[in-house]
Amino acid sequence: MCISCDREVRLRQHAILCDLCERWQHRLCGTGITLQAYNKAKHGYALQFICRPCKQRNWRAEEPAEPEVKQQVTDNLQVRAMDIVTTVITRDIPVQQRFLAPKQKQVNRTANKHRSANRPADPDNLDFELDVDYRKCADFLVADLRVEGNLN
């Protein structure tokens, strides 16, 4: 159901998910999002949307845990994003206030988008150098790579 008009949001309609309450709103029901921005978001560009009810509750657009999670995701490529999110939220937010914590699924999605946006480009041919420092993983086996048919 649309937050604004209370009508069903159908599969082929332009609709946007609120980043905080995770409810849908038709694009034309007062979101302020242009067709161009909507189309870019459909193709992977980041689009942050917070619905009017969440804005009226004085929610902050970026939760305090997000910068820490983004840094941890960048520094620890081999660790699952959800494990990092859980660790940061449980470490930084007291037990009595955890009900106020951001939704872990939302922060996890943000972490994965951040990780994806900062990933090096895939090689488009076989003439490339392997950046072992990027992985920051001591057990990565470089010795098993073959160069021109020879085992290195």
Question: Which of helix, strand or coil describes residue 37?
Answer: helix
- Residue 81's identity, in one-letter code, is A
76 has pLDDT over 50: yes
Instruction: Kindly report the pTM of this predicted structure.
Output: 0.44
Residue listed under structure tokens 């619905």: 51
pLDDT above 70: residue 113: yes
Instruction: List, for residues 83-107, the tens digit of each pLDDT value.
Output: 988 888 888 777 766 666 677 888 8
DSSP secondary structure letter of residue 121: P
> What pLDDT band is residue 51 in, cutting at 50, 70 and 90?
confident
Write the CB contacts of 137 (distance below 8 Å, at least 6 apart in sequence): 77, 78
Q: Which is more confidently placed, 141 or 107?
A: 107
User: What's the rounded Cα separation, in Å, for the pair 82 and 73?
Assistant: 10
Residues 6+ apart with CB under 8 A from 24: 1, 2, 3, 9, 15, 16, 17, 18
- Is the per-residue pLDDT at 59 higher than 70? no
